[in-house]
């Protein structure tokens, strides 16, 4: 899903991608270093 939103952001702008994420109620992690599901070592 993040890749799809990244594609939309590249093609239509980040605001459009954020709006899509909001509409589908998805918590989009735009920054790869700010992923809540990444293991902490």
How confident is the model over 2-16, as pLDDT tens digits? 899 999 999 999 999
pTM, rounded to two decimals: 0.72
How confident is the model over 22-38, as pLDDT tens digits? 999 998 877 777 767 76
Show me where the domains of the chain are located: 1-41
> In Å, what is the CA distance from 14 to each residue of 27, 39, 40, 41?
14, 27, 28, 31
Distance, in Å, from the CA atom of 23 to the CA atom of 41, rounded to the nearest integer, reads: 34
């Amino acid at each position: 899903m993040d890749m799809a939103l990244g594609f939309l952001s590249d093609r239509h702008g980040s605001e459009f991608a954020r709006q899509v994420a909001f509409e589908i109620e998805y918590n989009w992690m735009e920054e790869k270093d700010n992923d809540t599901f990444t293991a902490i070592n």
